Chains A and B, each alone.
Chain A
């Protein structure tokens, strides 16, 4: 599991790769949130290479989004694969965090 966090054009981009299962989330949640939330910038999360997401993974995304929201910044998810999208749909996460198909749509969602 890895997370690469970068900044471009006033947008923070987090690229996640691997399984967001309980063990991996426990190991990386703090770094992920700490790498994004303090910037208080529009943030997009690339899920293209995430193969599995457990409830703790949803919590990690939700917590980060809510922290950003309190600081006046938006967050969007994009590129979810079918198994990840199934979990996102089950939790109705898209009612809280925009979930879109492409990076361009995600940028538009957080800058809008």
Chain B
């Protein structure tokens, strides 16, 4: 039987073919409370496995090539394990043979969860409208990011790949005055429209190059002003981490401060080391009236700095190893590839090494090179 007959991801008008009554049995792949994808269940059924021709392909080493089948039988949804290595589970109980999947129950396969939902077309349409809105929001965030620059004396490359549900990363860089250049990256905790809206609001304030009571050339003052403006109690419990640096083009000095953020790294042209640049300050929005310490670093000719969000390195690799900063720094110091910009080199390497389901956060990496 042709696979295209068995699988249908419901998006908008495709729904009508699969409506038997006024509701549709669906499998919804979830991340926490969010629905990532929805699949309609028919009498023909859906096969779930790690590789095509499975109808639902889950690229997870814990999932067998042909893992289980979900289908309608006599008006009920039934799950049949197809001899999977790691098992199929319904609400935590392993499936032996064929077992009914009640509405609202959770089907677990590897580290993925699929919920059995029984939806009206109106509910599905509403959900799909929301997904389209998220896509528009992603495009909007992207439009606010500065373009890459190949022009001396400061060249900029970046990769911004938001998570499926859009996260709260944002960054910027550019001339602050005739002799100063600014670079910053913020990471709002959480996903979805609220985190993205928060990030956009913060970024728009930084783009204005003016914050109340702050000299924009003083990183500590900038973070302190942001901290007072964005207290989490007044912003739906959202907080963020940030790194902010100001480069003096004449003195070749970089002044910087971070708030709850891991270091930005300076890598000299010899690539002999990655020098961390971080000041120990609390996350932004957690506590009012905090002081933010700053520090300085000399920038050698030809050196680069790497600013990034935690989604870049908080992955589990294909050997089941949970990465930390050290793993990422090692990758950062690997030789550049001719013809490939540095940010893309690193993005490709992380994507290649990560278990796909663990790349679930925004990936934001900015490389600034100082000629």
Chain B contacts for A25, CB-based, 8 A = 32
Chain B contacts for A66, CB-based, 8 A = 232-233
Chain B contacts for A52, CB-based, 8 A = 322
Also in contact, A22 and B260, with CB within 8 A (given A58-B189, A83-B324, A93-B282): no
Q: Which of B33, B189, B260 has the most CB of A within 10 A?
A: B189
CA of A69 to CA of B369, assembled, Å: 45
Also in contact, A91 and B241, with CB within 8 A (given A22-B361, A26-B32, A26-B33): yes
The minimal Cβ–Cβ distance linking B203 to chain A, given in whole angstroms, is 18
The minimal Cβ–Cβ distance linking B279 to chain A, given in whole angstroms, is 10
Interface residue A40 (Cβ < 8 Å from any Cβ of B): no
- Which A residues between 6 and 21 are near B, CB-CB below 8 angstroms? 21
The minimal Cβ–Cβ distance linking A36 to chain B, given in whole angstroms, is 15
The interface bits of chain B over 285-301 (1 if a CB of A lies within 8 angstroms of the residue's CB, else 0) are 01100000000000000
Q: Contacts A27-B33, A91-B283 known; list 9 others, CB within 8 Å.
A: A22-B360, A23-B31, A25-B32, A26-B33, A52-B322, A54-B314, A59-B190, A63-B237, A93-B283
A interface list, Cβ under 8 A from B: 21-23, 25-27, 51-52, 54-56, 58-59, 62-63, 66, 83, 86, 89-93, 95-96
The interface bits of chain B over 229-241 (1 if a CB of A lies within 8 angstroms of the residue's CB, else 0) are 0001100010101
B239 and A83 contact, CB distance less than 8 A: no
B282 and A90 contact, CB distance less than 8 A: no
The minimal Cβ–Cβ distance linking A65 to chain B, given in whole angstroms, is 10
The interface bits of chain B over 76-97 (1 if a CB of A lies within 8 angstroms of the residue's CB, else 0) are 0000000000000000000000
CA of A89 to CA of B282, assembled, Å: 9
B interface list, Cβ under 8 A from A: 31-34, 187, 189-191, 232-233, 237, 239, 241, 260-262, 278, 280-283, 286-287, 310, 314, 322, 324-325, 360-361
Chain A contacts for B187, CB-based, 8 A = 55
The minimal Cβ–Cβ distance linking B315 to chain A, given in whole angstroms, is 11
A92 and B189 contact, CB distance less than 8 A: no
Also in contact, A62 and B324, with CB within 8 A (given A22-B32, A26-B31): no
A92 and B260 contact, CB distance less than 8 A: yes
Q: Main SS of the interface on chain B?
A: loop
Also in contact, A51 and B325, with CB within 8 A (given A56-B190, A91-B282): no
Chain B contacts for A91, CB-based, 8 A = 241, 260, 282-283
Q: Which of A55, A58, A89 has the most CB of B within 10 A?
A: A55
CA of A83 to CA of B33, assembled, Å: 26
Which residue of the partner chain A has the closest CB to B279? Answer: A92
A62 and B33 contact, CB distance less than 8 A: no
The minimal Cβ–Cβ distance linking A40 to chain B, given in whole angstroms, is 17
B314 and A95 contact, CB distance less than 8 A: no
CA of A52 to CA of B241, assembled, Å: 18
Chain A contacts for B280, CB-based, 8 A = 89, 92
A55 and B310 contact, CB distance less than 8 A: yes
The minimal Cβ–Cβ distance linking B115 to chain A, given in whole angstroms, is 12
CA of A56 to CA of B362, assembled, Å: 13
CA of A21 to CA of B361, assembled, Å: 10
Q: List 20 A-B contacts (CB under 8 A).
A: A22-B191, A23-B31, A25-B32, A26-B31, A26-B32, A51-B322, A54-B361, A58-B189, A59-B189, A59-B237, A59-B239, A83-B322, A89-B280, A90-B278, A91-B241, A92-B282, A92-B283, A93-B260, A93-B282, A96-B282
Which residue of the partner chain A has the closest CB to B165? Answer: A22
B324 and A86 contact, CB distance less than 8 A: yes
CA of A52 to CA of B262, assembled, Å: 16
CA of A63 to CA of B283, assembled, Å: 13
Instruction: Across the A-B interface, give the 7 residue pairs with the lowest CB-CB distance, nearest first.
Output: A26-B32, A55-B189, A91-B260, A92-B282, A59-B189, A91-B283, A90-B262
Chain A contacts for B33, CB-based, 8 A = 26-27
CA of A21 to CA of B163, assembled, Å: 14
B322 and A86 contact, CB distance less than 8 A: no
Q: Which of A21, A63, A90 has the most CB of B within 10 A?
A: A90
Chain B contacts for A22, CB-based, 8 A = 31-32, 191, 360-361
Which residue of the partner chain A has the closest CB to B357? Answer: A23
A55 and B233 contact, CB distance less than 8 A: no
The minimal Cβ–Cβ distance linking B311 to chain A, given in whole angstroms, is 9
